[in-house]
Copies of this chain bind each other. A is one copy, B any other.
């Protein structure tokens, strides 16, 4: 197989951390000065690794192998959340660089092609997975008018960053035969189970339902309890009963959240006449999502019959269906993991979204996870053990070699 260089890997990862560093965390949102500086640095590191590197018209950094295909695309995104951790995205990018570099340096693998990538704006500062969508031709002209929180459009930002007029890199079906992405888990499962590598089975789908509670606003002093149609009381009962109804149909990794809650008119002396809450739920299996949706809507219907307040649920239009990772690629990663840490790896869903969701509609994709300390992510405290960081890269490198060997 091939030997990656753990020291070089960690050095590059720490160097990338300096662009936008804030304490232990990183502030490097897409198209910020720090983001563009980081991309220029990445391009140079890719060049130094023997790749033909460039930054494309939306900010994607592509380090193209000098070898002909079949090639693997390996990478992730180098932009961060507004207050992000140092590994989210960055680790997968440096894995791509290190694996391409290690393969080119070893006579046994120097004929294999790995194109390293750092996608733009996976975090959606302007538009989620912007760079990956551009790569596969899914970014439209009208998408370019989308704006960040300060109201700057993608087009304006690209011009400001000095990227306008550049060609955009494109997926080449004959060359790009698979995409591999490594990432921190961002959750606690691997750490809790004592596993060191996760092989992602699928990226969870996300659905949402907006529930409305319609009662009767009234005087909080003179309206007897039995005559009330209190929307807040109905919402409390619904929110409470929802927990067991969802658990009854959920998978062990399903999650559901009621993050948005409103009560009208919101005065101490007035019985609420209206209330609303938004339920978001995620699972790797669309059938489970469907069952969860039905359970929540059934509860709304049941409560409308039982209580003096009417409860209605409207599924939100923006839903994400679960994304299956390619089974043949997963097998290569699992085999590579089992060889290095026998029994200390596991197949698992990804609870968060990734560029692989976009790319998997065009080429086979697979993802590898390493443990997140305390499951923390999207936070300055995000971190992973350096031994896990090195191990993950070696597993993915070995898998890349076996995949490419099979493709020859």
How far, in angstroms, from A259 to B266 measured CA to CA in the complex? 5
Does the CB pair B259–A263 fall under 8 Å? yes
Q: Contacts A235-B236, A260-B263 given; indicate if A375 touches B222 (C-beta within 8 A).
A: yes
Q: Do B263 and A222 touch (CB < 8 A)?
A: no
Interface residues of A in 228-243 (CB under 8 A from B): 230, 232-233, 235-243
Report the separation of the CA atoms of residues A269 and B267 in the bound assembly, to the nearest whole angstrom. Answer: 27
- From B186, B232, B259, B280, A259 is in contact (CB under 8 Å) with B232
Among B220, B239, B262, B263, contact of A280 (Cβ-Cβ < 8 Å): B220
A189 to B223, CA, bound (A): 9
CB neighbours of A230 from chain B (8 A): 257-258
A230 CA to B239 CA, complexed, in Å = 12
Asked, given contacts A220-B280, A266-B259, whether A236 binds B240 with beta carbons under 8 Å apart, the answer is yes
Specify which chain B residues have a CB less than 8 angstroms from the CB of A186 in the assembled complex: 219, 221-222
Q: Chain A: interface secondary structure? A: mixed
Quick one: which of B222, B233, B250, B275 contacts A185, CB cutoff 8 A? B222
Interface string of A177-211 (1 = CB under 8 A from B): 00000000111110000000000000010101000
Q: What is the CA–CA distance of A242 and B230 in the complex, to the nearest angstrom?
A: 14
Q: Do B243 and A271 touch across chains, with their CB atoms under 8 A apart?
A: no
Q: Across the interface, name the chain B residue whose C-beta is closest to A247.
A: B225
Rounded to whole angstroms, the CA-CA distance of A261 and B204 in the bound complex is 31
A94 to nearest B CB, angstroms? 21
Q: How far, in Å, is A369 (CB) from chain B's closest CB?
A: 11
On whether the beta carbons of B232 and A258 are closer than 8 Å, the reply is yes
Interchain CB contact (< 8 A) of A220 among B220, B236, B242, B255:
B255
Most B CB within 10 A of own CB, among A235, A240, A375, A378: A240
21 pairs from A and B in contact (CB 8 Å cutoff): A219-B377, A220-B257, A220-B259, A220-B280, A221-B351, A222-B351, A224-B253, A227-B375, A232-B261, A233-B240, A236-B236, A236-B243, A236-B258, A237-B239, A240-B241, A257-B270, A257-B271, A259-B263, A259-B266, A259-B271, A260-B268
What 5 pairs across the A-B complex have the smallest Cβ distances? A236-B239, A187-B222, A220-B257, A261-B263, A240-B240
Chain A interface (Cβ within 8 Å of chain B)?
185-189, 204, 206, 208, 219-225, 227, 230, 232-233, 235-243, 247, 250, 253-263, 266-272, 275, 277-278, 280, 282, 351-353, 375, 377-378
